[in-house]
């Protein structure tokens, strides 16, 4: 299973990278705005800075919602770095744009996926990734993890090469369940990745080991 970090914050990306477990980054317009990144030049420079930290995929989202605009933006984003994956929303024009970008060899991540039907469409259009949003489904009392399970099953049944990128992950149990279900990738905030480190018995055990060592050493 691959781990992506879901942020546009360079310090957080660096911290996850330094841990040695990071496979990529996802961003969205809200995350870029949170970092105060606006304007074409600043956005390009920020994506380049992200690509310079990580070894692999960086999802960069288009703002346009019309076919021509998405193609133009997608091509511009793809030129920034080989690691860029163009993030396209799950709308009618988006499906057409995914198909077109795929035919030109540009990787895409179809975002805002909330149903299995949408995931089938994106895969048929040639999306490299689909991003079903678990947390936002849970927020409205739909089981986000059930959707991941459904999509994994459908893709396996038909041999779709599109990868299931579980998104909108809110806590470590989401991440662990996604691993059990067989999601190809999980994108999460830094606190979810580092949250996997924690167990009170680890802390207690380590404190005991160190105390016993100190006692034996006469400290």
The footprint of ligand E4P (CB under 6 A) covers 6, 26, 28, 111, 131, 133, 135-136, 167-168, 187
Closer to ligand E4P by CB, 25 or 209: give it: 25
Shortest Cβ 28–ligand E4P spacing (Å):
4
Shortest Cβ 88–ligand E4P spacing (Å):
12
75 is catalytic: no
Q: How far is CA 74 from CA 46, 106, 157, in A?
A: 16, 8, 30
**H/E element, 177:** helix 172-181
Residue of 99, 130, 97 whose CA lies nearest to 113 = 130
Closer to ligand E4P by CB, 124 or 136: give it: 136
Active-site residue among 57, 83, 87, 177? Answer: 87
Shortest Cβ 135–ligand E4P spacing (Å):
5
Biggest CA–CA distance in the chain, Å, is: 74
Closer to ligand E4P by CB, 17 or 114: give it: 114
Q: Cα angle vertex 157, ends 153, 158, to 5°?
A: 125
First vs last C-alpha separation in the chain: 44
- Would you tell me how many other CB atoms lie within 10 Å of the CB of residue 208? 10
Closer to ligand E4P by CB, 26 or 108: give it: 26
Tell me the residue length of the chain.
Answer: 219
Residue keyed to tokens 């970090």: 5
Shortest Cβ 49–ligand E4P spacing (Å):
18
Residue of 61, 19, 8 whose CA lies nearest to 189 = 8
Q: Enumerate the active-site residues.
A: 87
């Amino acid at each position: 299973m691959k781990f992506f970090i879901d942020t546009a914050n360079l310090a957080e990306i660096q911290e996850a990278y330094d841990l040695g477990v990071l496979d990529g980054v996802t961003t969205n317009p809200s995350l870029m705005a949170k970092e105060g990144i606006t304007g074409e030049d600043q956005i390009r420079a920020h994506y380049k800075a992200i690509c310079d930290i990580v070894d692999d995929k960086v999802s960069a989202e288009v703002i346009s919602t019309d076919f021509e605009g998405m193609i133009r933006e997608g091509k511009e984003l793809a030129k920034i770095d080989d690691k860029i994956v163009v993030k396209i929303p799950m709308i009618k024009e988006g499906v057409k744009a995914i198909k077109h970008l795929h035919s030109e060899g540009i990787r895409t991540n179809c975002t805002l996926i909330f149903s299995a039907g949408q995931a089938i469409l994106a895969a048929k259009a040639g999306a490299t990734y689909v991003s079903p949003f678990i947390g936002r489904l849970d927020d409205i009392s739909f089981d986000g993890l059930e959707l991941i399970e459904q999509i994994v099953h459908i893709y396996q049944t038909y041999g779709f090469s599109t990868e299931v990128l579980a998104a909108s992950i809110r806590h470590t149990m989401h991440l662990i369940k996604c691993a059990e279900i067989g999601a190809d990738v999980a994108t999460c905030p830094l606190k979810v990745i580092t949250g996997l480190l924690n167990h009170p018995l680890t802390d207690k055990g380590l404190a005991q080991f160190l105390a016993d060592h100190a006692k034996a050493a006469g400290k």
